Amino acid sequence: MSGARKFDEAEYYRHEKLLAVDYRPPQTGWMDTPVDFRPGTWIYPGKPKHLEYLDLANPRTWSPTDEDWKLPANWKEIILAGIKERLEKYRSFKIFMDICVRCGACSDKCHFYIGGGDPKNMPVLRAELLRSVYRNDFTTAGKILGRLAGGRELTVSVIKEWFYYFFQCTECRRCSVFCPFGIDTAEITMMGRELLNLLGLNVNWVIEPVANCFRTGNHLGFQPHGLNDTLNFFADDIEEVTGIRVDVPMNKKGADILFVTPSGDFLAEPGIYTCMGYMMLFHEIGLSYTWSTYASEGGNFGLFTSHEMIKRLNAKIYAEARRLGVKWIMGGECGHMWRVLHQYMDTMNGPADFLEVPTSPITGTRFEHARSTKMIHIVEFTADLIRHGKLRLDPSQNDLLKVTFHDSCNPARAMGILEEPRYVIRNVCNHFREMPENTIREKTFCCGGGAGLGTDENMEMRLRGGLPRGNAVRHVQKKHGVNRLAAMCAIDRATLSTVCDYWAPGVKVAGIHELVANALVMKGQKERTINLRLQPVGEAEEQPIPEAEE
């Protein structure tokens, strides 16, 4: 390895070093082990201008490695009042503070613990970081017995620890599947981050997208003309591949459907191919739909900030649907976006009584399961199209691909959309293989970069957190020659590319609608000799599986 590599590049980390995980807890008890902010394991703080734009607390320039974090003078009061308020507002928080028995069922379920061995990444201990303060200041036993009852005083070093470990949780909810009481670390991390935000403690990789989204409508900060140009460039590429010019309906009043997708689909490979896939599909079936520049983000980094911020960003979707006068809303392939759309949107910004129950204009299927929220997942829509034989598909167009499917955390564990994507993949690809049972569906492993952690300065944690997923991919790569990992999440498409390059080199990541579009036989198309990646379709030589450095 080159010595010139920096800690924010994957190549900086040697496999044998990352793999030598020491699971033995330190000699000192966890209450007495201070956090070590080593490069590669934490994320740069939010820049003051973004906090100011969003009216968030305590905007200033600071760094986690500073001794003084420039907290407000009354920081302790703020936190204790914040805990009290949240205990009163959220039964989840109160119950999860009270009933953990520390049975340890969750301990080896977290990808960061599996890949890193830091005991505070065991979900139980991550929650104890907050619970210890709760016990000390909010329970009778803790007030009397203190440490003996598992309480500990709230100090600045506790706050530092919270910052480090609540931004080392991807809110993937895998641990909550295994918890006998359903304690959900995502919920605890969300509370932890809300509390930290009260002191102005957040990370730029979350707060900049939030500020962008509030202003421009999307995390990446695409302004209206930029988004319009981007989608028209995609139309050019589609024309090159298929010979067909697809429309780019934008901010179009009176369209039947508003389509919202994560802005990651507009920016970089391989997400852009998924976006092209949506456009080709909608063109082919003649769907009356529109994009929106104002509601140009399905994702919601508010989820990684506070409940209030979720609502502030999410409000646009219904507002825009109302303004444009559409009948219902369809959402693209994204993970945490669907946590928000499925579990929060209707409650926060509904009722959507001005919309109609989603009904496919092609098949006539009424999507009764979305009769209140009025929003369906594009993979539900496409699965229904395929089931009714409304698409001409040539799966052999994807014959060079040996595909496996990564269930994204939130669609799997906060929604349960497990079979639809598999049904679609099986219809558009001839070669599909599952990863091992304990690593898919509700037991799926996170990419290691969700919940606002997918930035390069956090590379060591991303690679460590990506180990369990990368390892399972590597397994099917060796066993079945898998070379493509399908995922319906924009963060996955970005972060799993890094994870696969590192742990299972040779496997590339694709969205489902990229695979759909490649197999889609469009009316009047020219002979399809290249796929959306502009790579030749057809006979390939048997490719050797690259050796991972082990």
Partner 1 sequence: MNAFLSLAAVLAVLLAAYVGTALLDARFLFGAILPYAAIATFLIGFVSRIVDWAKSPVPFRIPTTCGQQKSLDWIRSDRLDNPHDTIGVVGRMALEVLCFRSLFRDTKMERHEEATVVYGPGLLLWIGALAFHYGFLVAFVRHLRFFTEPVPYAVALLQRVDGFFQVGVPPVMASNIFLLGGLAILLSRRFRSPQLRYISLASDYFPLFLLIGIAGTGVLLRHFVRTDIVSVKELAMGLVGFAPVIPSGVHWFFFLHLSLVATLIAYLPFSKLMHMGGVFLSPTRNLANNNRMARHVNPWNPPVKVHTYEEYEDEFRDKLKAAGLPVEKE
Q: Which of residues 371-400 bind partner 1 (CB under 8 A)?
A: 371-373, 375-376, 380, 383-384, 387
**224 binds partner 1 per the rule CB under 8 A:** yes
Give the binding range for partner 1 (CB under 8 A) out of 197-205, 216-224, 453-461, 527-535. Answer: 216-224
The values of phi and psi at residue 105, to 5°, are -60, -30
From 315, 362, 530, 545, residue interacting with partner 1 (rule: CB under 8 A): 315
Rounded distance, CA 313 to CA 258, Å? 17
From 1, 19, 521, 534, residue interacting with partner 1 (rule: CB under 8 A): 19
Beta strands across the sheet bearing 403-406: 403-406, 484-487, 508-510
Q: Which residue has the tokens 């201008």?
A: 49
C-alpha distance from residue 32 to each of 139, 155, 157 (Å): 22, 12, 10
- Residue closer to partner 1 by CB (options 365, 455) is 365
DSSP state letter for 323: H
**170 binds partner 1 per the rule CB under 8 A:** no
The burial class, CB within 10 Å (0-12 / 13-18 / 19+), for 548 is middle
**523 binds partner 1 per the rule CB under 8 A:** no
**184 binds partner 1 per the rule CB under 8 A:** yes
Q: What is the SS3 assignment for 330?
A: strand
Shortest reach from residue 379's CB to partner 1, in Å:
10
Give the binding range for partner 1 (CB under 8 A) out of 38-46, 256-264, 269-277, 365-373. Answer: 365-373
From 1, 5, 23, 156, residue interacting with partner 1 (rule: CB under 8 A): 23
DSSP state letter for 441: G
**480 binds partner 1 per the rule CB under 8 A:** no
**225 binds partner 1 per the rule CB under 8 A:** yes
HSE-up (13 A, CA, CB side) for residue 486: 28
Shortest reach from residue 536's CB to partner 1, in Å:
34
**207 binds partner 1 per the rule CB under 8 A:** no
Return left, alpha or beta for 286; rule: phi > 0 is left, psi -120 to 50 is alpha, else beta.
left
**518 binds partner 1 per the rule CB under 8 A:** no
From 66, 77, 88, 269, residue interacting with partner 1 (rule: CB under 8 A): 88
Which of the residues 398 through 417 are near partner 1 (CB under 8 A)?
412-417
- Locate the DSSP E strands across 112-201: none
**82 binds partner 1 per the rule CB under 8 A:** no
Shortest reach from residue 399's CB to partner 1, in Å:
27
How many CB atoms are located within 10 Å of the residue 91 CB?
A: 9
**150 binds partner 1 per the rule CB under 8 A:** yes
**1 binds partner 1 per the rule CB under 8 A:** no
From 193, 342, 493, 513, residue interacting with partner 1 (rule: CB under 8 A): 342
Shortest reach from residue 390's CB to partner 1, in Å:
14
Rounded distance, CA 500 to CA 483, Å? 10
- Which residues are within 8 A (CB) of 406 and not within 5 positions of it... i.e. 6 or more apart? 435, 440, 444, 447, 469, 473, 485, 486, 487, 492, 496
Give the binding range for partner 1 (CB under 8 A) out of 163-171, 235-243, 367-375, 533-541. Answer: 367-375
Give helix 271-284 / helix 512-519 axis angle, nearest 10°.
50
- Residue closer to partner 1 by CB (options 257, 537) is 257
From 8, 9, 10, 21, residue interacting with partner 1 (rule: CB under 8 A): 21
Shortest reach from residue 523's CB to partner 1, in Å:
26
The burial class, CB within 10 Å (0-12 / 13-18 / 19+), for 102 is middle
**263 binds partner 1 per the rule CB under 8 A:** no
**182 binds partner 1 per the rule CB under 8 A:** yes
**223 binds partner 1 per the rule CB under 8 A:** yes
How many CB atoms are located within 10 Å of the residue 526 CB?
A: 12
- Per the structure block, which two tokens stand in for 137? 């200041």
Residue 405's beta-bridge partner residues? 486
Shortest reach from residue 541's CB to partner 1, in Å:
27
Q: Which residue has the tokens 């990646």?
A: 533
- Among 433, 420, 457, CA closest to 507: 433
Which of the residues 37 through 76 are near partner 1 (CB under 8 A)?
55
Count, residues near partner 1 per rule CB under 8 A: 122
Q: Which long-range contacts (CB under 8 A, 24 or more apart) does 47-55 make?
A: 47/204, 47/207, 47/208, 49/211, 50/204, 50/207, 50/208, 50/210, 50/211, 51/200, 51/202, 51/207, 53/211, 53/214, 53/215, 54/207, 54/210, 54/211, 54/214, 54/309
From 32, 36, 368, 541, residue interacting with partner 1 (rule: CB under 8 A): 368
From 7, 44, 62, 181, residue interacting with partner 1 (rule: CB under 8 A): 181
- Residue closer to partner 1 by CB (options 214, 405) is 214
Give the binding range for partner 1 (CB under 8 A) out of 191-199, 201-209, 215-223, 506-514. Answer: 215-223
**140 binds partner 1 per the rule CB under 8 A:** yes
From 319, 362, 530, 545, residue interacting with partner 1 (rule: CB under 8 A): 319
Rounded distance, CA 84 to CA 91, Å? 12
